[in-house]
Amino acid sequence: MKKYEYVNVDYLAKGVVFSSISEYQGIISRYASDGYRYVGFIPTEVGANGCLRKIDLIFEK
């Protein structure tokens, strides 16, 4: 049976219009070294203007 892990990532405000995420690379690398495979993401919070504010990274083992 497959096992799934979900990791919440917040977008950081970067000026008035832009937002960014930076820690995703380390998270994906860390899970890969533990035998997980990155399979995608799900938006978990969207701002009033339609911009993503939070996502869950999904890993499978």
Q: Residue-wise pLDDT tens for the chain (61 aa)?
A: 999 999 999 887 666 666 667 788 999 999 999 999 999 999 999 888 888 889 999 999 9
The model's pTM: 0.80
Map residue 26 onto helix, strand or coil.
helix
**Domain segments of the chain as ranges:** 4-60
The pLDDT of residue 15 is 63
- Closest by CA to 41, choosing from 27, 30, 13, is 27
Q: DSSP E strands: which ranges in the chain?
A: 4-10, 12-14, 18-20, 37-46, 52-60
